[in-house]
Amino acid sequence: MTKLIFITGTTSGFGRAIATKFAQNGHNLIITGRRQKLLDELADDLRKTYGVEVLPLCFDVRNLSEVEQAVASLTGPWREIDVLVNNAGLAVGMNPVHEGVVDDWERMIDTNVKGLLYMTRMVSPLMVARKQGHIINIGSVAGKEVYPMGNVYCGSKFAVDAITKGTRIDLVTHNIKVTQIAPGAAETEFSLVRFKGDETRAGNVYKGFSPLSAEDIADAVYYVTTLPAHVNVNDMVLMPTAQASAVNFHKI
């Protein structure tokens, strides 16, 4: 059965790989991000390569009115969203709390927590009305364990962990599945964004071991959507084999 998958943050990393995975399997997509050109290129590529329908919507998940307008702009079958993947997110900076950059904190909280909430608030009523749907939140190992200088990023992902549980409780009577996928270290644009464009510092994060790839996460997201109607994965923590906890790595 062809499904409609709404994925936030598809201009790179996990989101891009998740969109590609669902397109490969014949599903239609609503893809989002703030970089219009990358979004349009991905939409064209997925349409041409896989013959699926793709609706690109360029907006910032931090902006409530943009989120409202994006969802309100959906008509007809585009409102029948089967899966929402709340993936858009970021870490910005890595400082001890007494040297923290308040603007970095606000970007993380506004994107990872408030953006995810805005999206859920706007899309979940469409699922409730249809008595079906699946919300998948991309959390992190940082939402399971706090590590040095992770302070606010970890806080934002602990919030995702709690919000995922709360969303599941609230929507259980509406037949809506709610899943968290919580990855460890994965090589995407994540560290480049965290270290504000410093390629050397970003590259060092993944030296000496094999990190997860965006495709590994896409496989996990796709898998949880293929289970029978009565089965839900509540929470999946996914690590590189060489990572045992937020801070324990086997590097060679």
Q: Is 127 among the residues that bind ligand NDP (CB under 6 A)? A: no
Q: Report the candidate in 179, 190, 33 with the shortest Cα–Cα distance to residue 115.
A: 33
**Among the listed residues 44, 250, 13, 233, the one whose alpha carbon sits nearest the alpha carbon of residue 137:** 233
The CA distance from 205 to 84, in Å, is 30
Largest CA distance in the chain: 54
Cβ-based nearer residue to ligand 8X3, 29 or 185: 185
Helix, strand and coil percent figures for the chain, each rounded to 5 = 50, 15, 35
The correct pick among 190, 195, 202, 246 for binding ligand NDP (CB under 6 A) is 190
Asked if 81 is part of the footprint of ligand 8X3 (rule: CB under 6 A), the reply reads no
153 is catalytic: yes
Binding mask 132-151 for ligand 8X3 (x = CB under 6 A): --------xxx---------
Please state whether beta strands 176-183 and 235-238 pair in parallel, antiparallel, or not at all (unpaired).
parallel
Task: Please report whether residue 150 would count as binding ligand NDP according to CB under 6 A.
Answer: no
Residue 158 binds ligand NDP (CB under 6 A): no
Residue with Cβ nearer ligand 8X3 (8 or 140): 140
**Binding partner of residue 220 among ligand NDP, ligand 8X3, none, CB under 5 to 8 Å per kind?**
none
Minimum separation from the CB atom of position 99 to ligand 8X3 (A): 19
Task: Select from ligand 8X3, ligand NDP, none the partner in contact with residue 93, using the beta carbon and a kind-dependent cut-off of 5 to 8 Å.
Answer: none
Question: 80: helix, coil or strand?
Answer: coil
Is there binding between residue 14 and ligand NDP (CB under 6 A)?
A: yes
Say whether 64 sits in a helix, a strand or coil.
helix
What's the rounded Cα separation, in Å, for the pair 190 and 14?
Answer: 10
The answer to the question of residue 111 lying near ligand NDP (CB under 6 A) is: yes
Q: How far is the CB of 159 from ligand NDP (least distance, A)?
A: 12
The residue from 185, 202, 224, 239 that contacts ligand NDP (CB under 6 A) is 185
Residue 159 sits in the site that holds ligand 8X3 (CB under 6 A): no
Catalytic residue chosen out of the listed positions 153, 206, 222, 223:
153
198, HSE (Cβ side, Cα atoms, 13 Å): 11
Q: Which is nearer to ligand NDP, 60 or 80 (CB)?
A: 60
Dihedral, CA of residue 126, residue 129, residue 134 and residue 135, to nearest 10:
50
Alpha-carbon gap, residue 166 to 121, rounded angstroms:
13
Tell me which H or E stretch contains 128: helix 116-130
Q: Which residues are catalytic?
A: 153
Residues forming the site for ligand NDP (CB under 6 A): 8-15, 33-35, 60-62, 87-90, 111, 115, 138, 140, 183, 185-186, 188-190, 193
Residues forming the site for ligand 8X3 (CB under 6 A): 140-142, 185, 246
